[in-house]
Amino acid sequence: MLSASGKPRPRRPTMITKLLPVHAWIVAALFAAAALPAHSSGSNCTFRATGTIGLAFGILDPRNLVTKTATATIEVGDCVSQQAMSIAVDQGLRGNRTMMGGLGSDLIAYSIGPVTITGGAAAPGNAVYRTATFTGTVQGSAYANAVVGSYSDRLLLTVSP
Amino acid sequence: MKANHHFLKAVAAVALIASAGLANAGGTTSVDVTASVPGVCKFTSATMTAIALGAMDPATVGAAGVSNTGNITYNCTKGLTPAITKTGGGTTLTDGTKTIPYTFSLGSPEAGVGFATTSKVVATASVTQADVQAAAAGTAYKDTVTLSIDN
């Protein structure tokens, strides 16, 4: 191809040749992500939910004021073997471990015990999990004057590393 | 050029979706904490304080007859108003052989304010003037009324 001056015009790279390296990079990254197994196979531990994870105290009957307990169970692991796993439980949606319900803004306080990992806190390795449990407690005095209705809260669990 | 621009947008969207999915696989999870409080009531005692009609004098009884009241006390879940009904008694006083007709009625129950606090309904026992005047002498007329509370 000649320019107006008669000199050969340098060949312009096509759009495909300009973008190809970018495409190749992104597509390669996507394929790499897709090739990752379901578990992390990394140093960070994760939770594996098996069924509904809940801490259900059931019926708190004011006629029979007793200390009610409930236990939550979750699997944790899938990280580099022998790392010490640690699970933190936050204070819930209101920051004070209370279930809200009744007429809408009524509260029932509860407490959470320490998290126990069956088999010990040492991580069992990639794609392997251990069972973590913790217990919640509602004192009878916490619902002695409670309003009728359903109550709930949501705790956030964080595992480290 | 335009087609490639759209292609890049699509790739970027897929990349974002992929990264969001990986973020969810991180080291956090949530646990729902739940409980329920039923609407329930119960009497504070299996036996309430007796309602005493005292000495009913046929010679002096007024047109209103003789009556007295007593409190039936209970605890209810906060905000719940119970239904209290008479399931037995409440029609006849007797000393074992002689009888005097009477009525037993209940007022409007207070709403529950929580199980830690007692609520009440007022019960009234009444004997008409005519029944007092017709009564045989006796010192131990009595009756037992049985009540039930819903919820």
Contact between A110 and B33 using a beta-carbon 8 Å cutoff = yes
Neighbour count for residue B72 (Cβ, 10 Å): 22
Out of B11, B34, B39, name the one closest to residue A56 (CB): B34
**pLDDT grade for A20, boundaries at 50, 70 and 90:** very low
Among A21-30, A61-70, B91-100, where is mean pLDDT lowest? A21-30
Q: Which residues in chain A touch residue B25, judged by CB atoms under 8 angstroms apart?
A: 40, 46
Element (H, E) at A69: strand A68-77
Which of A23, A92, A147 is closest, CB to CB, to B33?
A92
- Which residues of chain B make contact with A146, given a CB cutoff of 8 A? 37, 77-78, 114-115
Position B72 scores a pLDDT of 97
Residues of B in contact with A80 (CB under 8 A): none
Q: For B26, which of A46, A58, A153 is closest by C-beta distance? A: A46
Cα of B125 to nearest chain A Cα, Å: 29
**Pairwise CA distance, residues A132 & A87, whole Å:** 9
Query: Which DSSP helix (H) or strand (E) runs through A86?
Result: strand A86-89
Compare CB distances from B37 to A26, A146, A153 and report the shortest one's residue. Answer: A146
Best residue of A22, A145, A156 to probe chain B, by most B CBs closer than 10 Å: A145
Please provide the average confidence, as pLDDT, over all residues in chain A.
Answer: 79
Chain B partners of A151 at a C-beta cutoff of 8 Å? Answer: 34-37
Q: Is A138 exposed, middle or buried (0-12, 13-18, 19+ CB in 10 A)?
A: buried
Asked whether the predicted pLDDT for residue A19 surpasses 80, the reply is no
The band of A109, judged by pLDDT with boundaries at 50, 70 and 90, is very high
- Which residue of chain A has the CA closest to B29? A157
* Class at the top of the CATH hierarchy for domain A46-160: mainly beta
Residues in A closer than 8 angstroms to B38, CB to CB, are 59, 61, 148
User: Pick from A126, A136, A150: which is nearest to A53 by CA?
Assistant: A136
Residue A57 class from Cβ within 10 Å (0-12 exposed, 13-18 middle, 19+ buried)?
Answer: buried
Interface residues from chain B to A (CB-CB < 8 Å): 1, 4, 7-8, 11, 14-15, 18, 22, 25-40, 42, 75, 77-80, 113-117
Look at A46 and B22 and tell me if their CB atoms are within 8 Å.
no
Portion of chain A with pLDDT greater than 70, in percent: 72
- CB-CB neighbors (< 8 A) of A99 in chain B: 33-35
pLDDT, tens digit, 9 for 90 and up, residues B32-87: 999 999 999 999 999 999 999 999 999 999 999 999 999 999 999 988 899 999 99
- Residue of higher predicted confidence among B15 and A10: A10
Q: Would you say B31 and A152 are in contact if contact means Cβ atoms under 8 Å apart?
A: no
The answer, yes or no, to whether residue A38 has pLDDT greater than 90, is no
The sign one gets for the Cα dihedral A21, A26, A31, A35 is positive
Residue A121 vs residue A10, higher pLDDT:
A121
Q: Where are the domains of chain B?
A: 41-149
For residue range B75-86, what is the model confidence (pLDDT) as tens digits? Answer: 999 888 999 999
Whether A99 sits inside 8 A of B77 (CB atoms) is no
